[in-house]
Amino acid sequence: MKRRLGVMGIAAFVLTFLLDIIFLDPHHVELWWHKVPGFDIIFGFIGCVAIIIVSKWLGKHFLQRHERYYEGR
């Protein structure tokens, strides 16, 4: 199941990247990074991964308590 989900995620990433390259119109961009093919897709992917990693770290170090946290009171 994990492998299938990973393959589907990679396929979606590649498909959207290719569509961005095909339909990129460099004449109507305002900022230089919008001329780079796939920049928004890669930036969004990195942002999502960063959110997941930071939230897991925060949850592990600040929110979780050990199993006997309430027994000592």
Domain annotation covers residue 43: yes
Residue 7: pLDDT over 90: yes
Question: What average pLDDT does the chain have?
Answer: 87
Supply the pTM of this predicted model.
0.66
Residue 23: give the domain boundaries. Answer: 2-63
Domain annotation covers residue 26: yes
Alpha-carbon gap, residue 1 to 8, rounded angstroms? 11
* DSSP 8-class letter at 64: -
Kindly indicate the confidence band of residue 57, based on its pLDDT and cuts at 50, 70 and 90: very high
Residue 8: pLDDT over 90: yes
Dihedral over alpha carbons 45, 49, 54, 57 (to 10 degrees): 180
Domain annotation covers residue 72: no
Domain annotation covers residue 70: no
Residue 1: pLDDT over 80: yes
Domain annotation covers residue 48: yes
Domain annotation covers residue 39: yes
Q: Which two tokens stand for residue 49?
A: 């991964």
Domain annotation covers residue 29: yes
Residue 16: pLDDT over 80: yes
Domain count, the chain: 1
